[in-house]
């Protein structure tokens, strides 16, 4: 560009940018709280060794330590116990009388990929087509999502953010809810492959209804048997592709088949969405034939298949304990007591917040309802910490408070699954989080309104 052109552009654009900066300054001056409280501020990585001293530490896997100390450095726990020596130069935080728990894990969430239900452009959950195993949710996560702050305020520090749609939806990504970008937040890009099991009510084909998966092009849905066969065929094609690549044959690169290889090799689990007893049974039979590491998600009728789930050591992710009964013959507490029934039957399970980003922040209360209806509190805590971590291959990093694991933890006034408890502070990988969020901001805003009105009245 010539010098005179540069001068011309500068002359033309300077007033515009001046006006823009002036407008921004006026907005900041007029609404400092609104701009400062866009829910939270991302914090830098841990830079100094920290010891939290005096709290009751709930390790989840190694018991409860009264008046304990937990020390972490470089984002990892280096010591947990009572009366342990604190190295010189350590920042000591007195948390006497408080409780420390591992950060909660939502095993089925859409935080970061779903924002406002009525705004399509803010939602990136479902992909087009039936087979999308190569979809990785972490690359689509919005690190500025307001649901991140509200989820963290309720103790949820890690999510398995999960895509939807189709027969094979794609990969769940394990996300730490702290970071400037999705790259900083991603713990495991491909933590699990997701399959939506077909709906048995479609045995006769035709139009209408669905089982949580996308319909075929042209509007006519295939029968249940045809849909299951499509799924089997796709796995067979992926296995043939894997074997050809391993044999050194020249094959056309296919990102979808490549993405399935870790699941075929049992390196990651296959999470199958299935609720009915027949769906669950068919999914178990199929997974055995395919030699897959199966996890059932949903599991409304899991108690009716409990003996087989226990015998096959297949875990379940319960997607809600606070739902109303879905069938006329069920009692009002069908969902509330489901976790307790599975525990009594010896079935391993995790509890999720119900997928929607709006519901991840209610994860602790999903577990709390299960306790109210018979599940031991210790098992409820496991269902939202170590169980979820184990099912998704994250237990070497998360889910309990042990040396060598990430310092992702909560300081609370009591058990985090009780609505009366308060999350006072949280750490993710040793980072002391900004605990602000948009709901707290609006609470303070309208409380100030009340205070001002009360002064006028008085």
CA pair distance 337, 343, nearest whole angstrom: 10
pLDDT band for position 454 (50/70/90)?
A: confident
Residue that is written with structure tokens 């713990």 in the block:
187
Give residue 357's pLDDT.
59
Of 3.90.79.10, 3.50.40.10, 3.40.50.740, 3.20.20.140, the CATH number of 104-397 is 3.20.20.140
DSSP-derived 3-state class of residue 175: strand
Q: Give the lowest-confidence range in 232-236, 285-289, 436-440.
A: 436-440
Q: What is the mean predicted confidence (pLDDT) over 153-174?
A: 95
Neighbours of 270 (CB within 10 A): 22
Ranges of each domain in the chain? 38-103+399-458, 104-397
Q: What local confidence, expressed as pLDDT, does residue 320 receive?
A: 84
- Residue 12's pLDDT is 39
Other CB atoms closer than 10 Å to residue 228's CB: what's the count?
18
pLDDT, tens digit, 9 for 90 and up, residues 307-349: 999 999 999 999 989 888 888 888 999 999 999 999 999 999 9
| CATH class given for the domain over 38-103+399-458 | mainly beta
Distance CA 77, CA 337 (A): 35
Output the CA–CA distances (angstroms, integers) from residue 18 to 15, 25, 28, in the order listed.
Answer: 5, 11, 15
Q: What is the pLDDT at residue 64?
A: 97
Q: Report the Cα 127 to chain-centroid distance in Å.
A: 19
Query: Which range in 35-39, 214-218, 362-366 is most confidently predicted, on average pLDDT?
Result: 362-366
H or E element, residue 51: strand 50-58
d(CA 356, CA 333): 22
Predicted model pTM: 0.86
pLDDT given at position 33: 42
pLDDT at 119: 82
Question: Other CB atoms closer than 10 Å to residue 88's CB: what's the count?
Answer: 6
- Which sign, positive or negative, has the C-alpha torsion 302, 308, 314, 315? positive
Of the candidate ranges 176-180, 395-399, 442-446, the one whose mean pLDDT is the lowest: 442-446
CA-CA distance, 332 to 230, in Å (whole number)?
A: 37
Match 């010189």 to its residue by tokens.
88
The mean pLDDT of the chain is 87
Confidence of residue 221 (pLDDT cuts 50, 70, 90): low
Query: What are the tens digits of pLDDT across the range 67-76?
Result: 999 999 999 9
Q: Does residue 235 surpass a pLDDT of 90?
A: yes
- Measure the N-to-C terminal CA separation of the chain; round to a whole number of Å: 68
Closest CA to 78 of 406, 400, 398, 404: 404
Q: Cα–Cα distance between 297 and 239 in angstroms, integer?
A: 24
- Least confident range from 6-10, 80-84, 290-294, 326-330: namely 6-10
Q: What is the pLDDT of residue 355?
A: 57
């Amino acid at each position: 560009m010539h010098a005179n052109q540069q001068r011309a552009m500068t002359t033309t654009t300077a007033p515009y940018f001046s006006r823009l900066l002036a407008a921004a300054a006026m907005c900041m001056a007029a609404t400092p709280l609104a701009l400062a409280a866009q829910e939270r501020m991302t914090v830098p990585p841990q830079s100094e060794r920290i010891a939290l001293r005096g709290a009751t530490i709930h390790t989840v896997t190694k018991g409860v330590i009264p008046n304990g100390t937990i020390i972490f450095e470089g984002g990892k726990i280096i010591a947990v116990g009572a009366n342990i020596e604190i190295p010189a130069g350590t920042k000591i935080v007195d948390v006497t009388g408080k409780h420390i728990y591992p950060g909660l894990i939502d095993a089925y969430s859409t935080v970061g990929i779903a924002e406002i239900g009525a705004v399509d452009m803010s939602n990136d959950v479902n992909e087009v087509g039936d087979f999308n195993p190569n979809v990785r949710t972490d690359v689509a996560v919005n690190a500025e999502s307001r649901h991140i702050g509200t989820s963290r305020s309720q103790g949820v520090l890690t999510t398995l953010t999960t895509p939807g749609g189709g027969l094979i939806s794609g990969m769940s990504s394990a996300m730490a809810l702290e970071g400037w970008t999705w790259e900083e937040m991603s713990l495991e890009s491909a933590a699990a492959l997701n399959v939506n099991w077909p709906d048995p009510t479609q045995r006769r084909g035709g139009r209408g209804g669905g089982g949580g998966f996308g319909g075929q092009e042209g509007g006519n849905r295939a029968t249940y048997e045809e849909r299951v066969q499509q799924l089997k065929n796709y796995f067979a094609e992926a296995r043939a592709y894997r074997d050809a690549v391993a044999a050194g044959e020249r094959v056309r690169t296919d990102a979808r088949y490549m993405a399935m290889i870790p699941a075929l090799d049992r390196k990651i689990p296959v999470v199958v969405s299935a609720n009915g007893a027949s769906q669950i049974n068919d999914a178990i039979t199929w997974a055995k034939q395919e030699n897959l590491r199966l996890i059932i998600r949903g599991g409304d009728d899991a108690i009716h298949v409990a003996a087989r789930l226990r015998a096959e050591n297949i875990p379940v992710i319960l997607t809600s304990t606070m739902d109303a009964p879905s069938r006329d013959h069920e009692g009002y507490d069908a969902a509330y007591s489901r976790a307790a029934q599975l525990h009594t039957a010896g079935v391993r399970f995790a509890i999720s917040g119900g997928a929607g980003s709006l519901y991840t922040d209610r994860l602790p209360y999903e577990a709390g309802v299960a306790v109210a209806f018979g599940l031991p509190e210790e098992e409820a805590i496991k269902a939202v910490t170590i169980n979820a971590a184990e099912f998704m291959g994250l237990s070497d990093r998360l889910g309990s408070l042990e040396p060598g694991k990430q310092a992702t933890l909560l300081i609370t006034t009591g058990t985090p699954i009780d609505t009366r408890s308060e999350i006072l502070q949280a750490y993710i990988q040793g980072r002391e989080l900004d605990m602000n969020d948009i709901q707290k901001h609006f609470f303070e805003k309208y409380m100030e309104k009340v205070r001002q009105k009360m002064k006028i009245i008085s």
